[in-house]
Amino acid sequence: MSKYAEAGVNIDAGNEAILRIKKHVKATHSSIVLGDFANFAGVVSLKKFSKMKEPLLVSTMDGVGTKIKIAAAMDKWDTVGQDIVNHCSNDVLPIGAEPLFFLDYIAASRIKPETVESIVAGMSKACKEVGCALIGGETAEMPSVYSEGEHDIAGCMVGIVDRKDAIDISKIKAGDVLLALPSNGLHTNGYSLARKVLLDESWMNINEHVKELGCSLGEELLRVHKSYSKAVLGLSKKVKVKGIAHITGGGLVENLPRILPKGTGAEIDEAKIKVQPIFDLIQNKGNISKGEMYRVFNMGLGLVIAVEKGNADKAMKMLQKSGQDSYYIGRIVKDEGVRFK
């Protein structure tokens, strides 16, 4: 008689992983999470938001991509758990939404309970920081789909905002100012090219200290994707934020146009961009064109926000008070697309 374990799936390991992560999941719960229902799905009450005139649910889903390969090589898993939560919080932010709840998907060739716990502990930490409840997810062991030792992580976040407070990008106009909020590295994009250049072609040691980076290559590549949610939501209560672009895959040149109304474009002062050493290292090692770098990587720009010119200084001061750096990067012009000067 055949058993599931003989097919490569360990039910006991899956059950142990679930037991290990329960405390991390529960640590993110507030009064909106209801636990007195069948536990096949998470349940959230919206009673807290009953004063909203027209509440909008804003949803997003993403993954950490091949950054997972770096986590595996370093055997460090909590940072990628934080990455996916923070990435998603930045994706609901351009609508003006605050994170409400998050669900995860963790898949592997073989479930290691301690690895799953580390990933979910990272998710829990990030959820608490952005004010979001981790209400459920799925852990899948699929030996015939993933090669030995391989993992995948994805997440879905739902945020909420009253329609009157939602960011209306149609109001962006020529003369508005663009402010950059710095990234702290690659975040979760461009890792396939970074790995190819630095590890496969340049044979760099992931554990070796790199003088230009001030840390090991592995530590640099595992820097946690920053969340800008708290700082920018706080700013939007005092200053009118007209548009927000999360600089992810596609870089500045493909993400910024997503918030620009027809007939408007962005003029970027390239000299203002604070490109971090990791991007110079990748470009030089791989002999990559500047155009390609700006299409693949964030180049030190985590978020770009549009405000009226008269509000720019106030916005930067308010962000600074919340502990978030920002700086002027360009302006909105009467011309479509993104151009550098």
Mind listing the pLDDT tens digit for each residue in 32-89? 888 766 577 888 889 999 999 999 999 999 999 999 999 999 999 999 999 999 999 9
What type of residue is 228? Y
11 Cβ contact partners less than 8 Å away, ≥ 6 residues apart: 4, 5
Instruction: Decide: 168 and 298 in contact? Cβ < 8 Å.
Output: no
Mind listing the pLDDT tens digit for each residue in 244-291? 999 998 999 999 999 999 999 999 999 999 999 999 999 999 999 999
- Distance between the two ends of the chain, CA-based, in angstroms? 71
User: How would residue 11 be classed by pLDDT, with cut points 50, 70 and 90?
Assistant: low
Query: How far lies 226's CA from each of 33, 130, 174, in Å?
Result: 26, 11, 29
Query: How far lies 265's CA from each of 114, 302, 333, in Å?
Result: 48, 19, 5
Domain annotation for the chain: domains and CATH numbers: 4-165 (3.30.1330.10), 169-340 (3.90.650.10)
Mind listing the pLDDT tens digit for each residue in 111-129? 899 999 999 999 999 999 9
- pTM comes to 0.93
